[in-house]
Chain A
Amino acid sequence: MDVIKEKCPISGAYVYIYTLSTGIKCYIIPKSGFKTSMAMAVVKFGSGDVMFKQNSGFTEIPSGTAHFIEHKLFDKKDKSIFTELSKNGASVNAFTDFVKTAYYFSCSDGFYNNLKLLMDMIKEPYFDKSGVENEKSIIKSEINMYKDIPERAVFSNLTKLMYPDTALGCEIAGSDKSVEKITPEILYACYNAFYTPENISIICSGDIEPEKAALIVQETDFTSQGAERIKEEIVPNKINDYVSKRFDVSEPIFNIGFNHEGFEVCPENTYALKMVFDILSGEGSKLYERLLNKQILTEPLGFSLVCAPNSVFSVISGRSQKPAYVANSFIKTSSLLIKTGVGDTAVKRIKKMYAGRVIRGYNSIEAIVNAQADLAISGFSLIDTEKAIADITSDKINSMALEAFKRSNAYLSVIK
Chain B
Amino acid sequence: MSNLRTFQISEGINLHCLKDDKFTTNSVTFFIRTNLTNETAAKAALLARVLKSGCSEYPSVSLFNRHLQELYGCTMDIFTFKKDCRLVLCLNFVFANKAVLLPKVFFVAGNTLLSPKTFLNRFMEADFSNGVYAQSKAIRSLKDNKTQYAIFRLYEEMCRDAESDEVSRSFSISADGSLKELSLITPSTLHAFYNNLITSAPMDVYCVGPASGDEFKACFDKIPFFDMVRKKYQPCGRLKGTNTQTRIVNESYSFTGLNQAVLCIGYTFSNGSVYACEVLNEILSGPSGLLFNTVRQKEGLCYSIFSSILPNTGVLSVCCQTDSKNINKACQIISDCIKNAASATPEQLKTAKDSLCAKYSLITDSQQETTGFLFSCRLNSIIPDTDEYIQNIKSVSQSEIDGIISSIKEQVIYTLN
From B25, B296, B321, B323, A363 is in contact (CB under 8 Å) with B25
Which A residues lie within 8 Å of B23 (CB)? Answer: 363
A349-B70, A352-B73 known; A293-B259 Cβ under 8 A: no
A141-B303, A283-B61 known; A251-B70 Cβ under 8 A: no
Contact: B62 with A284, CB < 8 Å? yes
Closest partner residue, chain B, to A109 (CB atom): B358
**A289→B59 CA distance, assembly (Å):** 12
**A149→B60 CA distance, assembly (Å):** 34
**A286→B256 CA distance, assembly (Å):** 38
Which B residues lie within 8 Å of A34 (CB)? Answer: 22, 365
Contact: A86 with B288, CB < 8 Å? yes
Contact: B62 with A289, CB < 8 Å? yes
A356-B73, A356-B96 known; A86-B355 Cβ under 8 A: yes
**A237→B240 CA distance, assembly (Å):** 59
Contact: B254 with A248, CB < 8 Å? yes
- Confirm or deny: A77 has a beta carbon within 8 angstroms of a beta carbon on chain B: no
Contact: A298 with B286, CB < 8 Å? no
Closest partner residue, chain B, to A139 (CB atom): B303
Which B residues lie within 8 Å of A36 (CB)? Answer: 362, 365
Contact: A284 with B137, CB < 8 Å? no
**A243→B318 CA distance, assembly (Å):** 37
> Using a CB-CB cutoff of 8 Å, which residues 221-245 of chain A contact chain B?
none
Of A87-95, A307-315, A394-402, the one contacting chain B is A87-95
Contact: A283 with B65, CB < 8 Å? yes
A89-B354, A108-B358, A283-B61 known; A293-B25 Cβ under 8 A: no
> Using a CB-CB cutoff of 8 Å, which residues 55-99 of chain B contact chain A?
60-62, 65-66, 68-75, 94-97
- Confirm or deny: B230 has a beta carbon within 8 angstroms of a beta carbon on chain A: no
Of B139-147, B191-199, B264-272, B335-343, the one contacting chain A is B139-147
Contact: A295 with B258, CB < 8 Å? no
A86-B351, A247-B256 known; A292-B130 Cβ under 8 A: yes
Contact: B296 with A138, CB < 8 Å? yes
Contact: B21 with A33, CB < 8 Å? yes
**A248→B72 CA distance, assembly (Å):** 40
Contact: A141 with B134, CB < 8 Å? no
* A87 → chain B closest CB, angstroms: 6
**A298→B288 CA distance, assembly (Å):** 41
Contact: A355 with B72, CB < 8 Å? yes
Contact: A298 with B355, CB < 8 Å? no
Which B residues lie within 8 Å of A349 (CB)? Answer: 66, 69-70
From A137, A144, A150, B144 is in contact (CB under 8 Å) with A150
- Confirm or deny: B118 has a beta carbon within 8 angstroms of a beta carbon on chain A: no
A284-B69, A292-B130 known; A83-B288 Cβ under 8 A: yes
**A247→B23 CA distance, assembly (Å):** 43
- Confirm or deny: B398 has a beta carbon within 8 angstroms of a beta carbon on chain A: no
**A54→B362 CA distance, assembly (Å):** 46
Produce 1/0 per residue, A130-144, CB < 8 A to B.
000011011101101
- Confirm or deny: A332 has a beta carbon within 8 angstroms of a beta carbon on chain B: no
Which A residues lie within 8 Å of B25 (CB)? Answer: 359-360, 363
Contact: B74 with A356, CB < 8 Å? yes
**A250→B179 CA distance, assembly (Å):** 13
> Using a CB-CB cutoff of 8 Å, which residues 293-310 of chain B contact chain A?
296-297, 300-304
**A298→B364 CA distance, assembly (Å):** 34
From B72, B288, B304, B355, A352 is in contact (CB under 8 Å) with B72
- Confirm or deny: B376 has a beta carbon within 8 angstroms of a beta carbon on chain A: no
**A90→B354 CA distance, assembly (Å):** 10
Which B residues lie within 8 Å of A33 (CB)? Answer: 20-22
* B248 → chain A closest CB, angstroms: 22
Which of B22, B23, B130, B144 is packed against the most chain A CB atoms within 10 Å? Answer: B144
A147-B259, A365-B365 known; A352-B69 Cβ under 8 A: yes
Produce 1/0 per residue, B1-40, CB < 8 A to A.
0000000000000000000111111000000000000000
Contact: A248 with B321, CB < 8 Å? no
Which of A106, A144, A365 is packed against the most chain B CB atoms within 10 Å? Answer: A144
**A292→B20 CA distance, assembly (Å):** 38
- Confirm or deny: A107 has a beta carbon within 8 angstroms of a beta carbon on chain B: yes
Which A residues lie within 8 Å of B253 (CB)? Answer: 248
Which B residues lie within 8 Å of A150 (CB)? Answer: 144
> Using a CB-CB cutoff of 8 Å, which residues 301-333 of chain A contact chain B?
319
- Confirm or deny: B133 has a beta carbon within 8 angstroms of a beta carbon on chain A: yes
> Using a CB-CB cutoff of 8 Å, which residues 340-382 of chain B contact chain A?
351, 354-355, 357-359, 361-362, 364-367
A250-B144, A288-B61 known; A148-B260 Cβ under 8 A: yes
Which A residues lie within 8 Å of B358 (CB)? Answer: 89-91, 107-109
* B129 → chain A closest CB, angstroms: 8
Produce 1/0 per residue, A91-122, CB < 8 A to B.
11000000000000011110000000000000
**A282→B362 CA distance, assembly (Å):** 33
**A144→B140 CA distance, assembly (Å):** 24
A147-B259, A248-B256, A359-B72 known; A32-B22 Cβ under 8 A: yes
Which B residues lie within 8 Å of A355 (CB)? Answer: 72-73, 96
- Confirm or deny: A178 has a beta carbon within 8 angstroms of a beta carbon on chain B: no
- Confirm or deny: A4 has a beta carbon within 8 angstroms of a beta carbon on chain B: no
* A15 → chain B closest CB, angstroms: 15
From A108, A142, A145, A353, B73 is in contact (CB under 8 Å) with A353
Contact: A35 with B365, CB < 8 Å? yes
From A31, A141, A251, A350, B137 is in contact (CB under 8 Å) with A251
* B206 → chain A closest CB, angstroms: 16
Which B residues lie within 8 Å of A32 (CB)? Answer: 22
Closest partner residue, chain B, to A278 (CB atom): B69
* A152 → chain B closest CB, angstroms: 12
Which A residues contact B (CB, under 8 angstroms)? 11, 31-36, 82-83, 86-87, 89-92, 106-109, 134-135, 137-139, 141-142, 144-145, 147-150, 246-251, 253, 282-286, 288-289, 292-293, 295, 298-299, 319, 349-350, 352-357, 359-360, 362-365
7 contacts between A and B (CB under 8 A): A36-B362, A89-B358, A138-B296, A138-B300, A141-B323, A363-B25, A363-B366
| Sample of 6 further A-B pairs with CB below 8 A, known A108-B358, A145-B304 | A92-B287, A108-B362, A138-B300, A319-B141, A353-B69, A357-B73
The 3 closest A-B pairs by CB, nearest first: A33-B22, A356-B73, A356-B72
Which B residues contact A (CB, under 8 angstroms)? 20-25, 60-62, 65-66, 68-75, 94-97, 126, 129-130, 133-134, 137-138, 140-141, 143-146, 253-256, 258-260, 286-288, 296-297, 300-304, 321-323, 351, 354-355, 357-359, 361-362, 364-367
